[in-house]
Chain A
Amino acid sequence: MTENVPVAPATTPEQAKASAAQIIRDLDTTSGYWAAVWTICCLPDAHVICDAPIGCFNLVGTAVPDYTDAIPHIENLTPSVMREQEVTMLGTAGAVRRAVDGLRAIHPDRQMIVVSTAESEMISSDHGDWLGKLDPPVSFYWSRSLEDDEWVGRDRVLLWLWKNFGQGGVKDQPVLSRAVNIIGPTYGCFNSPADLHEIKRLIAGAGGVVNLVYPYEAALKDTPRLSESAVNVVLHREYGDGLAQELGKPFLHAPVGIRETTDFIRELGKLLGAGDQAEAFIEREKKTTLQPIWDLWRGPQGDWFSTTEFAVVAGRTYADGLVTFLGDELGMKLVFATGHPIKPGEMDNIAVRNFLHKRQPGFVFGSINEKIYLAEAGARATHFIPAGFPIPIVRRALGTPFMGYSGAVYIAQEMVNRFYETVFNYLPIDTVKPAGGGTGGPPGPAAADTGTLIWSDAARAALEARVEGIPWLSRISAMRDARTQVEAYALRQHINQVTPEVVQRAIA
């Protein structure tokens, strides 16, 4: 039950020189170690000992999942607590042994799994051999924390769980003809409770019976039951295909948007031999769950979509899904999209940051990084919608999916409500002033006075240029504000001819 520790490839001096340091900003994707903890610890009868300094334990087990998953802390995770003496002299075996013994006393029923971390890999702390000789043996997982990102990491640890705790325990029992497993989510998957809820609803609608949600709603001892299903659904494109392929059953990816969802239900129905039921479900959904999209499309709100720009930075499933749904289906204008794991040609964070500093689309779906970049740019007319980690957020309500028909409606609804918010923020307010008291500022231009101002064509063009970067819906009021500002300035300066220079000075 151990992993072979890969030997790091030797690097020649020439290669070392060639690999100039690659620089990143505001890392958005974590490591194989986090993936291992966030996957294995979903299983309540497993207990992970991370071979880690206290920081790697605290961040993964408490400080971050407090704010990604809204849980107080991961209860079945304990550190070996690597200190200076372990790093420089002793090695970590003694510290791991202490944790194993202590935990066995407290949790005799749990399967202990020791997981390596970046620091333990740095000092080559491989405990597989001796842990396997303990009675009962303790498993060791080399998390490749220095090589793999969280997506490769999740894929790999899911496969490891199956090989070590699944396939050996499979009993001779027939595959259940309507049974469907869902592979994913784990901890740290944005918005997953709502997505999972929706996918379960779609599976039932297509005639399936949800068998095992692995690892999120399973126990380690359930792992052999992964073999029972007729079809597997992989919740996120970022990971899970490895396990699905190994299981050898047909598998589908969870859908985002109207078309993908329709195809998903239809295909699943066919695979389960429930084609008619699936078709009937689609028809019913159009008149119930999905009806709001048709109504919004025909109403005044529908027109806003095609005149509004959006950008996405999110996990691969959400990035591709939002591009398909908002861009292809609703006709919004895509400014840029970056998914994680990143594909060649997509912008990294340094490029995204530079882009958003220059230009801000009306809607940005993203993480706290994009939110920071928009704040740095002073973007006030852009709606930021959280769509991926890292960001502190509670996403535990079941009614906020991005996936499936419910997801399409939820996203459209969120966006229309943001439009309403924009309208509210830009409507003129009749400020209530105290009786007899002024505001103390310069008098606003009266309509009669400003009527005598003469605008040159160049000045008008200069004014229009000022508002070019602002999303359309906010442009009317931005233009009005800018014009008022110029005219007030002209009046104060006793200028009756507005030139580009006057505009420049007024809005400096």
Chain B
Amino acid sequence: MSEMTKSIPAENPSSNHQGLSAPSDLGLTPQTMCPAFGSLRVLTRIDGLQTAMVTDAGCLYGLSFVTHFYAGRKSISAPVLGTKELMAGNIAEAAIAACAEAAKAPGTKLVAALSLCVAETAGLTEEMLPVQINGVDVVLIRVPAYAIHTHPEAKDIAINALLKKYVAPARKTDATGVEAPLSREGPDLRHQVILMGEVFPVDPLSVDMVLKKMGASLASNLPSRNLDDYRIAGKVGAIAALHPFYTRSVATLRAAGVPIVSGAPIGADGSYGWIKGIGNALKLDPARVEEVASEEREKCRAIIQANRIEGKVHICGYEGNELGYARLLVEAGAQALYVSTSIEKSLYTAADEAWLKAHGTVEVVYRKTLEQDIRALDKHKPDLVLGTTPLSAEAKLRGIPSMYYTNQLSTRPLFLSAGLAGTISLIKDALSRAPRYAWMREFFTGENDASDALNAKPVINTMD
């Protein structure tokens, strides 16, 4: 434990302002769900997996609350960890005891021990945990919120931990450097794809239909409820990393020799490019792939043409898949002047960012804060905000139509031509509700903009 701080700390270089005016770059409140929840969400949904959490009471309470609400209705074991227990230095014994309790459930195949902030600070390490407890495998998932900054990244950590456990290292090569063929026995997985990323349950079906037209098919979708899906991940023909934040999992699979296709089949251009990418990775017949990709692009264009939207939309979630979503809305006619996400800029965000900037997006913000998102409201005056909970609340306070990105956008199909209509109509519908937001605001706050949205026509922005 470190020395107590006694002297007045120097002012932070980034807060070199005087007086009471806020610096224009002030960002105090990063936007993310507790990062560790990303792991819990993936893990508690797996059949035969039980969870032990190694952490303090407050953390345990909060994470259990959200897990039981919308991740898995599964009992969670934990050791009591207060000052006394932490000072006693038996963090490993505590973790092992919690794992033993978790392993009691009939049919348990794997126990995931989650190591959170105080356990990490107390020095819990992988070597301290046995590989098995009472005959059940144990895997340690280390997700302290101070080191893992966002909820999507913790999903990647959980998936990667399972992949590392179940995926064999790189394929063997012979003396001449030629790779041994994959999966000699059982079904040939080389023409199958695994989608990596949480999606609406219908989307994998749409993807599978398109793959089948090209002589391929879908093997599964990670994160999966089935541990076997992690076991086959090293043997399939390609992994489609749908979202840009699966960097660790992608590295593990790449090391195992599995081709990776990044991006997602969203919108006309996105779907076309994605299908071509899959075709390449699986070495499918190029002519057939081009045919299927073009056909899908035309279908998307037709649907987009029939469902045009107009208006300025801010896309400001913390899920890490905001950029792809923004692309679709832009294709459908919206202006996405401001797009922000909690994840950091990487190789995997570059293509979407470039596309968006080429199509009118002014700002793409990574590792964003609430304050940045709110300043963007002042700056760009959007007609619709797809935001985090606090941002959506702020937008509604201003009478701007808004929805919580996480809840609303995950309840519709999104991929390929099959996913377009539902998603675009959700946005179109939201844009048309502006008068209601204005009415509610005026009723509860007494405030009303000079533009008098109450009397405005349903779609208030004309893009002129």
Contacts and interface: CB of A to CB of B under 8 A. Distances in A.
B20 A146 contact: no
A55 B64 contact: no
Contacts of B14: 98
Contacts of A301: none
A146 B86 contact: yes
A82 B80 contact: no
A123 B2 contact: yes
A92 B63 CA distance: 24
Interface stretch (B117-125, B199-207, B236-244, B270-278): B117-125
Contacts of A350: 101
A122 B118 contact: yes
Contacts of A104: 20
B1 interface: yes
B7 A105 contact: no
A277 interface: no
B70 to A, nearest CB: 8
B59 interface: yes
A368 to B, nearest CB: 5
Which of A32, A122, A145, A149: most chain B Cβ within 10 A? A122
Which of A28, A54, A124: most chain B Cβ within 10 A? A54
A28 B17 CA distance: 44
A25 B76 contact: yes
Nearest to B66: A63
A127 interface: yes
Nearest to B397: A72
Given A58-B34, A123-B2, A353 B75 contact: yes
B12 A127 contact: no
Nearest to A376: B75
A123 B28 contact: no
Nearest to B146: A53
Interface stretch (B89-97, B164-172, B184-192, B222-230): B89-97
Contact of A108 (B20, B63, B90): B20
Contacts of B98: 21, 23
Given A122-B86, A372-B68, A72 B146 contact: no
Given A118-B56, A146-B82, A54 B101 contact: no
B263 interface: no
A160 interface: no
Interface stretch (B127-135, B385-393, B423-431): B385-393
A94 B62 CA distance: 27
Interface in A346-373: 350, 353, 368-369, 372-373
Nearest to A91: B5
Contacts of A427: none
Contact of A73 (B6, B32, B96, B393): B393
Contacts of B62: 30, 34, 55-56, 59-60, 63-64
A300 B415 CA distance: 58
B118 A22 contact: no
Given A15-B88, A105-B20, A97 B9 contact: yes
B147 A73 contact: no
Contacts of B48: none
Contacts of B36: 55
A5 B1 CA distance: 14
B389 A79 contact: no
A53 to B, nearest CB: 4
B434 to A, nearest CB: 19
Nearest to B5: A93
B28 A130 contact: no
B343 to A, nearest CB: 13
A226 B283 CA distance: 77
Interface in B10-28: 10-12, 14-15, 17, 19-23, 26, 28
Contact of B60 (A10, A27, A133): A27
A380 to B, nearest CB: 16
A375 B73 CA distance: 9
Nearest to A133: B8
B121 A122 contact: yes
Given A26-B64, A98-B12, A149 B57 contact: yes
6 residue pairs, one from A and one from B, having the closest CB atoms? A59-B62, A55-B34, A31-B58, A55-B145, A72-B393, A30-B61
Given A101-B17, A122-B121, 15 more contacts: A23-B101, A29-B61, A31-B61, A59-B63, A91-B3, A92-B5, A95-B12, A98-B12, A101-B15, A102-B22, A122-B122, A146-B118, A149-B57, A369-B68, A390-B61
17 contacts: A16-B88, A22-B80, A23-B80, A25-B101, A30-B62, A34-B58, A54-B32, A62-B389, A97-B8, A99-B28, A101-B17, A124-B2, A130-B9, A146-B86, A350-B101, A368-B69, A376-B75
